[in-house]
């Protein structure tokens, strides 16, 4: 059996933020991740990040991952990769599958940073080889050096659809079109501008209605949709592509949070069902924290700040202290408010306020 102060599950920006801050306060931290490399989705992010220059804005995602991993390492965070957290056992320990063996971890506080998974979209032909998530294409292009296809239809104009379109062109593919069911582009217009300047036609109020091909995608049929998102007969167009990528949102990976019996709520704008939390990222169970996309799908900057907040609060609640820990937590809360201000973030802020109201009510 392994014992630790903090068990952090997931090593994306939220988990790394939690591990770093927990360790900085002096807590013993064990960080586990099912992947063979830490960093979560950061290593797939090859664009320069938004956010505050005081943090990592203007730095590319994979460069931020390198900085955070070095920091975690320097602070003595113990990291187990290729290690899957299976659930909580009757005695309160967390079971992990590590190098083919199940082990128990006794942790005083557990910080869940399990991230999100991509939504799928069903339409005739959607199971054909060549139809896949935008994240799969991004992983293969940016990490593995392989294009999943040469001629691409992107479905969805959120930031994922826009950024992955751009990145696939950087890797040498052609994005033949991007369709968006909403009447307007839903991601940042500056991201859209990059692919529009590069000649990608963006069809708003359009969706994919069919993928055609025998052993793989050979063409896509798109159509205009009405105000209820129903395809309008007679508006179909055929686009010759070998790949159809789905960038139609993400939803929190709540399996572990459910096993920990964290109270959940529904917030459509943040991905659907997710665990409630208070202003310090505590779930309904005071010994279990949730942060990052699990606590509502946003972006890496907010994930990192939420993780840091969870890490400090968990360590301080165990009696560890760091200089200015209280002030740091207030700073992080302010930083999160700032990242969620602005017209584009108004809905996310409203969701988060509801979540924190429900989460806070668990600890009165």
Partner 1 sequence: MSQHIEEHPIVDYPSRTPVTFSFDGRTLTGLAGQPIAAALLDNGISVFRHTHKTGQPRSLFCGIGQCNDCVVVVNGKPNVRSCTTPLEEGMVIETQHGLGKVGVL
Partner 2 sequence: MSNQPSRGFALLECCQEIPCNPCTTVCKTGAIVKSTLNSRPEFDPEKCVGCKLCVAACPGQAIFFQVPDLGDGKASITFPYEYRPLPVPGQEVVAVDRLGNEVCPAVVQSVDQRPVFNRTALVTLVIPAEYRDQVRFLRRLRREER
Residues 267-306: x where in contact with partner 2 by CB under 8 A, - otherwise, as a string? ----------------------------------x-----
Q: Tell which one of 97, 147, 325, 362 touches partner 1 (CB under 8 A).
A: 147
* Contact predicate 163/247, CB 8 Å: no
341 forms part of the interface with partner 1 (CB under 8 A) = no
Rounded to a whole number of angstroms, the distance between the first and last alpha carbons of the chain is 34
d(CA 282, CA 314): 9
Using CB under 8 A, which residues numbered 251 to 290 contact partner 1? Answer: none
* Contact predicate 211/120, CB 8 Å: no
Q: Tell which one of 215, 227, 323, 364 touches partner 1 (CB under 8 A).
A: 215
188 forms part of the interface with partner 2 (CB under 8 A) = yes
Closest approach, Cβ 227 to partner 2, in A, equals 24
d(CA 85, CA 33): 8
Beta strands in 197-236 (DSSP E): 202-204, 206-212, 219-224
Burial environment of residue 91 by CB neighbours within 10 A (0 to 12, 13 to 18, 19 or more) = exposed
149 forms part of the interface with partner 1 (CB under 8 A) = yes
For the chain, state the CA radius of gyration. 21
Closest approach, Cβ 21 to partner 1, in A, equals 26
Residue 194 contacts which entry, partner 2, partner 1, none (Cβ below 5-8 A, type-dependent):
partner 2
Q: Tell which one of 114, 141, 205, 264 touches partner 1 (CB under 8 A).
A: 141
58 forms part of the interface with partner 2 (CB under 8 A) = yes
Structure tokens at 227: 């105000």
- Residues 6 or more apart whose CB falls under 8 angstroms from that of 168 comprise 137, 138, 141, 147, 152, 175
59 forms part of the interface with partner 2 (CB under 8 A) = yes
Check residue 37 and report its DSSP letter.
Answer: S
Stretch that binds partner 2, among 91-99, 196-204, 243-251, 308-316 (CB under 8 A): 196-204
343 forms part of the interface with partner 2 (CB under 8 A) = yes
97 forms part of the interface with partner 1 (CB under 8 A) = no
Structure tokens at 297: 């799908």
Burial environment of residue 351 by CB neighbours within 10 A (0 to 12, 13 to 18, 19 or more) = buried
Of residues 109 and 348, the one with the C-beta less far from partner 2: 348
d(CA 176, CA 166): 12
Binding interface with partner 1 (CB under 8 A): 34-36, 46, 60, 62, 117-118, 127-133, 135-137, 139-142, 144-150, 170-172, 215-216
Binding interface with partner 2 (CB under 8 A): 47-54, 57-60, 63, 169-170, 172, 188-191, 193-194, 196-200, 301, 338-345
């Amino acid at each position: 059996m392994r014992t630790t102060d903090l068990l952090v599950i997931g090593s994306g920006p939220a988990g790394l933020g939690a591990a770093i801050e927990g360790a900085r306060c002096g807590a013993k931290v064990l960080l586990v991740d099912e992947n063979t490399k830490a960093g979560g989705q950061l290593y797939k992010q090859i664009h320069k990040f938004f956010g505050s220059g005081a943090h990592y804005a203007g730095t590319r995602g994979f460069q931020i991952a390198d900085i955070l991993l070095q920091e975690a390492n320097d602070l003595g965070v113990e990291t187990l990769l290729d290690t899957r957290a299976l659930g909580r056992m009757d005695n309160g320990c967390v079971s992990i599958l590590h190098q083919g063996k199940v082990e128990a971890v006794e942790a005083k506080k557990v910080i869940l940073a399990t991230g999100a998974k991509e939504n799928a979209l069903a339409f005739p032909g959607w199971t054909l080889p060549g139809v896949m998530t935008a994240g799969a294409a991004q992983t293969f292009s940016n990490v593995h050096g392989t294009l999943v296809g040469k001629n691409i239809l992107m479905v969805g104009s959120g930031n994922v659809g826009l950024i992955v379109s751009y990145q696939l062109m950087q890797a040498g593919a052609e994005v033949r079109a991007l369709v968006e069911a909403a009447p307007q582009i839903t991601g940042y217009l500056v991201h859209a501008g990059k692919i529009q300047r590069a000649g990608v036609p963006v069809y708003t109020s359009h969706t994919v209605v069919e993928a055609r091909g025998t052993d793989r995608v050979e063409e896509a049929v798109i159509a205009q949709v009405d105000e209820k998102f129903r395809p309008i007969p007679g508006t179909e167009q055929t686009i010759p592509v070998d790949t159809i990528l789905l960038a139609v949102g993400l939803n929190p990976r709540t399996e572990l949070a459910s096993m920990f019996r964290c109270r959940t709520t529904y917030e459509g704008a943040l991905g659907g069902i997710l665990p409630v939390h208070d202003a310090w990222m505590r779930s309904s169970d005071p010994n279990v924290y949730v942060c990052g996309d699990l606590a509502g799908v946003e972006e890496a900057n907010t994930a990192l700040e939420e993780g840091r907040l969870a890490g400090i609060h968990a360590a301080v609640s165990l009696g560890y202290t760091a200089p200015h820990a209280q002030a740091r937590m207030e700073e992080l809360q302010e930083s999160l408010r700032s990242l969620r201000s602005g017209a584009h973030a108004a809905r996310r802020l409203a969701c988060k306020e509801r979540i924190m109201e429900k989460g806070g009510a668990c600890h009165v």
